[in-house]
Chain A
Amino acid sequence: MYRERDVHTKDCPGKDVLSAYFDGELDPRSMDQVSVHLSGCSLCRQRLEGFAVLRKRLNDVPFSLDLVASKERTLNLIEAQHVLRRAAKRERFWDRRVFIPLPVVAAVGLLFMFTIAALIVWEMQPKTVEMAEIKDVDPVGPYDVDVKNLEQLAEFLQNSNSTIEVTIRLPSQPAFFLMGEPKLLRETDYKRGK
């Protein structure tokens, strides 16, 4: 025999179970168990009646569902959010992804490496001064000296104050250093010494 209960106990089914029972969604065995419980529990019965009242009220409310308009609003909302997201991404340049073909990446890499190698080789080259070859060969005569006798010739030679001078401008680079005592060597001795 069941005694009527006036408070919920741990044996009372929960709201979800009662709701499922009300909707007839429980399996037959569970339906029987809940039915047995309801026969002896006035609180659960009241709750079940509350479900019935709620359903009745919902059914009484005039409900018109405009699916087409709702769909339109939803799509518009999604589109608006998408546009906003794209705009936000466009502002951040560093977030943009750019597609570069692999051969292009490889070619750029090779070019970069070649440039670095060329710079290294160029730096390792000994610095040379600018090549120059200046031939300052004094032309050999003729000179016209108008003398009529030996006395005039001797006088001309004695009064002549010219010097035999060769002036050579050395290259501006490199800077020269004194490496030791000046030397005067026969070419043969110098080559033998080397």
Chain B
Amino acid sequence: MKVRFLPLLILVSLVSVHGEDIESALKSLKDKALAVNVATRVLEKDQVTVWHTESSKVTISGKAVSLKLSGDNVLILADITPYMNADGTLLLVAQGEVYITSSPDGGVKYYSTMKSVPVKAGEKVIFFPLGVAFDADENVYTIEVEIEVLPYSEMIKRKEGITDGSR
């Protein structure tokens, strides 16, 4: 049976637990939690961003964050799974499925891929689910998914730093 966790509920909680064992368990989970920041962009020629959205999720090592990008003629399903090594480095695995209709007859093409890349915490990785055109012509748009994985504790520090800076 596949065990599903709900770390985001735990890691960021002010839980009303009783007992030191619970608190220590939560602290342990919180220390191992990872924040996955996802910035999705649509770029036109010369890498000009014409559309942009951001999202942030909390997970733990080995648990994927599912990303679903749906457009009129494209559906992209991507599972981004961070694996934390003992030395603190990360292995980021992106499993992608692409359904795309590009022909006038409406036929659907399906592609699947799995890519992995070792990264450091906070290092940004870019996923191109439809490939990348370095010398794109006009009217050719690239979907770029920027992924950043960092420990949840650092994420909290970063947010607190932003908050302090804004005061």
Interface residues of A (CB under 8 A from B): 126-138, 140-150, 153, 156-158, 160-188, 190, 193-194
Contacts and interface: CB of A to CB of B under 8 A. Distances in A.
B121 interface: no
Contacts, number: 235
Contact of A168 (B53, B92, B156): B53
6 closest A-B pairs by beta carbon, nearest first, are A141-B12, A180-B131, A170-B71, A184-B115, A179-B131, A160-B6
B149 interface: no
A72 to B, nearest CB: 83
Interface string B2-16: 011110111111111
20 contacts: A126-B45, A126-B139, A129-B44, A131-B51, A132-B51, A138-B8, A142-B12, A143-B10, A147-B22, A148-B17, A162-B6, A164-B65, A166-B57, A170-B51, A175-B73, A182-B130, A186-B124, A186-B125, A187-B124, A190-B126
Given A148-B17, A166-B66, A180 B25 contact: no
B117 A186 contact: yes
A184 B55 contact: no
Contacts of A172: 71-72
A168 B131 contact: no
Given A140-B155, A168-B70, 15 more contacts: A127-B139, A128-B50, A131-B51, A138-B8, A144-B13, A146-B16, A147-B15, A148-B17, A160-B6, A170-B70, A170-B72, A172-B71, A178-B98, A184-B125, A187-B124
A131 B50 contact: yes
Contacts of A188: 123
Contacts of A141: 8, 11-14
Contacts of A183: 115, 126-128, 131-132
Contacts of A144: 13-16
Interface string B98-141: 10101000000101010111010001111111111110101111
Contact of A137 (B25, B54, B156): B54
Interface of B: 3-6, 8-19, 21-22, 25-26, 38, 40, 42, 44-45, 47-48, 50-59, 63-74, 92, 94, 96, 98, 100, 102, 109, 111, 113, 115-117, 119, 123-134, 136, 138-143, 146, 155-156, 159
Q: Interface residues of A: mostly helix, strand, loop or mixed? A: loop
Contact of A187 (B25, B59, B102, B125): B125
Contact of B115 (A136, A166, A175, A182): A182
Contacts of B38: 166
Contacts of B71: 169-172, 176
Nearest to A186: B125
Contact of A133 (B17, B52, B69, B127): B52
